Amino acid sequence: MSESPSIDHHRDIGYAEARATADQPFTVTADPDGDGMVVQGVCPACRTFTEFAIGRGIVGTKGRRRASAPAPAEITVFCMCGHVHAERPPEATDRGCGRFWKVRLP
């Protein structure tokens, strides 16, 4: 995860897999390795900078890359703030508060 570009205003909230509504814009940029995109912004629930990577394409047979399905207009983003949130289950795959929301892709 990249360093926050601004001051972090983390809210110490308990972990919960719940839908949130993004109340601030997110930046969507090309992944440095050119194989996807990176969504950056502030989690609407815990108010912490978060960075979510989106892969593109599917690795095909013999290491060749096959064309993937058309890119969606929006995706579901999960909080990846990296802070410890109370009651976070050990099997959780995200690294945040458990909230998720939709982000429109360019």
Average pLDDT (12-27) is 89
Q: Is the pLDDT of residue 6 over 80?
A: no
Reported as a single tens digit per residue, the pLDDT across 33-84 is 777 888 999 999 999 999 988 876 533 334 444 555 566 688 899 999 988 8
When computed from its CA atoms, the radius of gyration of the chain, rounded to whole angstroms, is 15
Specify whether the CB–CB gap between 2 and 40 falls below 8 A: yes
Largest CA distance in the chain: 46
Average pLDDT (9-28) is 88
Reported as a single tens digit per residue, the pLDDT across 27-40 is 988 877 777 888 99
Closest of 40, 15, 14, 21 to residue 92, by C-alpha? 15
Average pLDDT (6-35) is 81
CA–CA distance, 85 with 26 (Å, rounded to integer): 22
Closest of 54, 50, 55 to residue 3, by C-alpha? 50
Q: Is 0.75 surpassed by the pTM of this model? A: no
